[in-house]
Amino acid sequence: MVRRRLAAAGALVAAAALVLSGCANQGGGGAAQTSQAPAPAQPNNAALPAGNGQGKCAPGTSIAYVGTLAGQNAALGQAIANATELAVNQHNQANPGCQVTLVKADSGGTPDTAVGPTQAVINNPAVLGIVGLPFSGESKAVGPSLNAAGLVNITPSATNPGLTGNGWTNFFRGLGNDAVQGPAAAKWMKTKFNPQSICVIKDDSDYGIGLANAVTQALGPQVAACQGNVKTNQKEFSATVGQVQQANPQAIFYAGYYTEAAPLVQQLRDAGVQAPFVGPDGVKDEQFVVNAAGSANGAYLTCPCVPQEGFTAFTQAYQQAYGVAPQTYSAEAYDSATILLSGIDKGANSRPALLNYVKTYNGQGLTKKFQWQPNGELSETPVYVYRVDGDKIVTDSPIS
């Protein structure tokens, strides 16, 4: 999933089984709604980084965050890195006999820039496992090397379905993929808008292409006959806006990232296009709201990520440590790091041992139950809808 810009605050509030009855403003320019769904509470049996405090490991034992820190769509990467760091710090405070080092490697967020930093982590024998990489394109680029090294790799955010079809035995996904998110988004849009036509617009990333294909297939060729394409770093969208105006759809689904989504929705609204704008997890960042300068109001955002506000201890600790609320995929990263740390605490003190520990893991996290299928996909993969309400992203409803 996602690319550029260092973190703005992102209290990406809550959800549960309640589906809101009120509809958000569909044109991006009306009065903001203030209601939102309640947050799920922390499960009583959720594994936490501290464990039982009896962990033992050799000095220098390390895990790594590999992902963007200052490169493309850095807000998402920073939220994942922060949550990983928080988990390691909480673990070390509780386990004097196992002080784990966190190695951070800035991948730059692109396939080309990720190779060198990832190889440096592979070459560090102290690193037993990785939280990352955040994005699908970079994950695809470095996957063969990580697999050859036997270095366990839990991504909290990369959603392209093809990543688990490569035969890699070290790759595990900590969320639902786009073969889950795409049909869920299509189902929700059909129910919400009863559309005759939806314009599906995609960027040129592995993530955007894969997600757009999944949404289009689930909507069907008649409903999704309007198809648009944009490029990474594109800023002027007059051709796409004209295409949407001609199609006059009941909704627009954008498969891509917030860097391009913000000017796109702004230019759509400036041209008088009032069809509801729906984006995915790649758009679900506070920078989308900020950069769209009011035009994002009323937009909907799907995400295979769980609302975090109900995880009180986690959100308070994150806020205290980093001065902002947890953001998209922070809780998923926290869970991913917790799993690696629990394996180390239980004696998985080598790359093969930690890889085997994750393969056979079966436990509850903050966000979901973690138990992987042989291909590295989870058995439990919730998807939620969020919406932009004024200058905030709030929870709309889960998709059942």
Residue pLDDT tens, the chain, 400 long? 544 333 333 333 333 333 332 333 334 433 344 456 667 889 999 999 999 999 999 999 999 999 999 966 888 899 999 999 999 999 999 999 999 999 999 999 999 999 999 999 999 999 999 999 999 999 999 999 999 999 999 999 999 999 999 999 999 999 999 999 999 999 999 999 999 999 999 999 999 999 999 999 999 999 999 999 999 999 999 999 999 999 999 999 999 999 999 999 999 999 999 999 999 999 999 999 999 999 999 999 999 999 998 999 999 999 999 999 999 999 999 999 999 999 999 999 999 999 999 999 999 999 999 999 999 999 989 999 999 999 999 999 999 7
CA distance 46 to 185: 28
Structure tokens at 99: 């002080």
> 115, exposed or middle or buried, with CB in 10 Å at 0-12, 13-18, 19+?
middle
Write down how long the chain is: 400
Q: In this structure, are 101 and 205 located in the same domain?
A: no
Q: In this structure, are 228 and 329 located in the same domain?
A: no
Residue 264 lies in a domain: yes
Residue 150 lies in a domain: yes
Residue 18 lies in a domain: no
How much is the pLDDT for 35? 58
Q: In this structure, are 240 and 267 located in the same domain?
A: yes
Q: In this structure, are 251 and 198 located in the same domain?
A: yes
Residue 326 lies in a domain: yes
- Name the phi and psi angles at 106, rounded to 5: -80, 110
Q: In this structure, are 171 and 188 located in the same domain?
A: no
Q: In this structure, are 166 and 189 located in the same domain?
A: no
Domain total of the chain:
2
Q: In this structure, are 195 and 336 located in the same domain?
A: no
Q: In this structure, are 198 and 287 located in the same domain?
A: yes
CA distance 82 to 102: 11
Cis amide bond preceding 264, omega within 30: no
CATH code at 269? 3.40.50.2300
Q: In this structure, are 259 and 355 located in the same domain?
A: no
Q: In this structure, are 157 and 83 located in the same domain?
A: yes
Residue 26 lies in a domain: no
Residue 265 lies in a domain: yes
Q: Residue 368 in contact with residue 306, Cβ under 8 Å?
A: yes
Please give the model's pTM, rounded to 2 decimal places.
0.88
CA distance 121 to 64: 7
Domain extent for 194: 179-303
How much is the pLDDT for 160? 94
Query: Which residue, among 134, 109, 106, has the nearest Cα to 120 in the 3D structure?
Result: 106
Q: In this structure, are 156 and 83 located in the same domain?
A: yes
Q: In this structure, are 137 and 225 located in the same domain?
A: no
Query: Which residue, among 132, 144, 55, 142, has the nearest Cα to 100 in the 3D structure?
Result: 55
Residue 365 lies in a domain: yes
Dihedral angle, C-alpha 54, 60, 61, 65, nearest 10 °:
120
Residue 43 lies in a domain: no
